[in-house]
Structure 1
């Protein structure tokens, strides 16, 4: 949680500099784009594509598109997620593959070598339960929850990324959370 907050503060403070550099066509914009957004984009693309190698390739291609672009919108972060989403969906369509419903990778997962066997077993069980809970949601609800809680985007930004009215984003968030709470309470009883 603290790492995500630090990333968010860093993105907010460096994004105006990034936008200005991109608009001026400065060469340093690529390095700044990489520093500020690479980890978030890698995690986001990995969730769509299922492998780290595919996600790394996708992030490279997305950053190339951004750097070659003629205009940079004011709401850069939402626009970048939209570009990434569209790129990943295009890749999936080209390959004839569907999303694999795997749990999202996070940089907060501790290294297995640093914990004991019992801790790893408990963590695996919790991840398995969480996977089952997420599988119970519709793909639309999973996507909105992922953008909100894994990527920390606002409802307005999510609406922009998905080309939806904010009211629909709000309702999908609410419905998804209600379903998760329902299923979580059922699983706790078993």
Structure 2
């Protein structure tokens, strides 16, 4: 059987063996205290392919997923020092989720000119739960409204509607209960409807 080609051949330069006995949180604490590329690379080595897999599932495009992975991992250093991270894997998933959401948002925004429902399935898939949104200004307003949701609602809304994930999958990946996921989605949708309704009212005055 042919060996599967790795999209990240640079992994061979990341020697993380000395840190294999450390937990994520121990690596994170060491990096925050002492810095050092070896510690940072150990975390990257541990999660690179996981991040790539999540990005690929989200973006549905290998090149975009590779770019997203490199951008996310390349920005980790300053973020690890800036934020008080209690659970690294959950925090990293949120970073991936937000990064890919912004990528999808930019991609969809670039398609809003001359939209044809017959040849823009990716855009229409994103919009299938928002039938009122048919023009660029309306799409931008939806994107802005999603950005304004609290982190829990935004993560669950984007995972459920953009990634087509189930309540169970979202709960497992984000560390919530299924009831919490349902609540975040319901409250998020309510907040989105309120924001969109206000926007429509302002347009008709």
RCO comparison, higher one (Cα < 8 Å, 6+): 1
Q: Which has the larger radius of gyration?
A: 2
More helix by share: 1
